[in-house]
């Protein structure tokens, strides 16, 4: 009986120590009735990339824009709950009606300051590759950023009439 308990405990610990394998799978869908966790807007009514945050409690939050996703993730008390953040890969999604092609937010390239319309202010366009982000910036303006370069200060810079931050890559 003792051996069975030890084996059960070992299997349970092994299963618990592998959450990254489950989290690494990219899966999200934007449904017609989905509303933004931050502002309550219906996601499909607005153009541009959307964001999804998977929380430690297995809850999935959806956002009408990548800006709103970052507004959530960059808050220390809320960001700690996030085990995975996803953004639309706009290299393979239609700008006006993005499908369900997502990329991990931490691996994405971002263009901020373009002239493309989006929900909640200037677009923070997300791409899976630097090349597709640069092509977008060349066509529509803006600067390239990586995940770790995006700050609340940058996202709020449009209120002051500039896009602040680094030149990009």
Q: What is the pLDDT of residues 102-160, one digit of tens each?
A: 999 999 999 999 999 888 788 999 999 999 999 999 999 999 999 999 999 999 886 54
Q: Does any domain span residue 95?
A: yes
- Domain membership of residue 118 as a residue range: 26-160
At 63, the pLDDT band (50, 70, 90 cuts) reads: very high
Given this model, what pLDDT does residue 99 score?
A: 87
Residue 16 lies in a domain: no
**Range with lowest mean pLDDT among 19-28, 40-49, 63-72:** 19-28
In a domain, 20, yes or no: no
Residue 18 lies in a domain: no
Buried/exposed code over 96-115 (b: 16+ C-beta within 10 A; e: otherwise): eebeeebbbbeebbbbbbbe
Per-residue model confidence as pLDDT tens digits over 15-30 = 333 344 344 567 788 8
Q: Is residue 105 part of a domain?
A: yes
pTM, rounded to two decimals: 0.78
**Residue 165 domain-assigned (yes or no):** no
Is 168 within a domain? no
The domain total for the chain is: 1
**Predicted pLDDT at 17:** 36
């Amino acid at each position: 009986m003792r051996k069975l308990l030890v084996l059960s405990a070992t299997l349970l610990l092994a299963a618990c120590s592998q959450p990254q394998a489950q989290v690494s799978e990219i899966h999200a869908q934007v449904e017609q009735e989905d509303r933004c966790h931050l502002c309550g807007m219906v996601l499909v009514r607005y153009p541009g990339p959307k964001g999804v945050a998977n929380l430690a409690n297995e809850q999935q939050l959806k956002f009408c824009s990548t800006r709103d996703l970052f507004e959530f993730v960059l808050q220390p008390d809320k960001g700690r709950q996030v085990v995975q953040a996803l953004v639309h890969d706009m290299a393979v999604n239609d700008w006006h009606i993005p499908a369900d092609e997502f990329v991990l937010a931490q691996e994405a390239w971002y263009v901020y300051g373009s002239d493309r319309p989006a929900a909640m202010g200037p677009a923070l366009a997300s791409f899976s590759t630097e090349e597709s982000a640069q092509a977008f910036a060349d066509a529509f303006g803006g600067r390239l950023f990586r995940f770790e370069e995006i700050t609340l200060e940058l996202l709020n810079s449009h209120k002051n009439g500039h896009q602040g931050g680094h030149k990009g890559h």
